[in-house]
Amino acid sequence: NAGVTQTPKFRVLKTGQSMTLLCAQDMNHEYMYWYRQDPGMGLRLIHYSVGEGTTAKGEVPDGYNVSRLKKQNFLLGLESAAPSQTSVYFCASSYAGWRLAGGRRQETQYFGPGTRLLVL
């Protein structure tokens, strides 16, 4: 049980290049999320998905696109990278069920290890 995995771990892009970040989870979670973390800014939600084939915008969606073709995968795309997109990107997933074992509610999200992206 690997939990949430992210590919790649680190990437350097030139301005204008495109790339796709891959997130995979093996916990059968319905919900998946993409965040970015910048110094002094905490975690900010980019896009999220409440199920296969559905996506929605988060707090900072501009410049990113996402797709959820399979339940276990959530892709984050940068069509034309900009230096402002230099950041650490985290994927997370969570259940949609009403109640979990131990009373932990479904908002509990489980995070991947992150992808560090540098745009020059």
Partner 1 sequence: DQQVKQNSPSLSVQEGRISILNCDYTNSMFDYFLWYKKYPAEGPTFLISISSIKDKNEDGRFTVFLNKSAKHLSLHIVPSQPGDSAVYFCAASFNSGGSNYKLTFGKGTLLTVNP
Binding footprint of partner 1 on the chain (CB under 8 A): 4, 31, 33, 40-45, 48, 50, 56, 58, 90, 92, 94, 96, 104-114
Q: How far apart are CA 68 and CA 81, in angstroms?
A: 21
> From the CB of 69, what's the least distance to partner 1, in Å?
19
Q: How far apart are CA 112 and CA 91, in angstroms?
A: 5
Residue 9 vs 16, nearer CB to partner 1:
9
Residue 112 vs 117, nearer CB to partner 1:
112
The residues pairing with 33 across neighbouring beta strands, listed in sequence order, are 48, 92
Residue from 31, 21, 114, 115 nearest 71 by CA: 31
> From the CB of 16, what's the least distance to partner 1, in Å?
28
Residue 17 vs 22, nearer CB to partner 1:
22
Query: Which two tokens mark 110?
Result: 């489980």
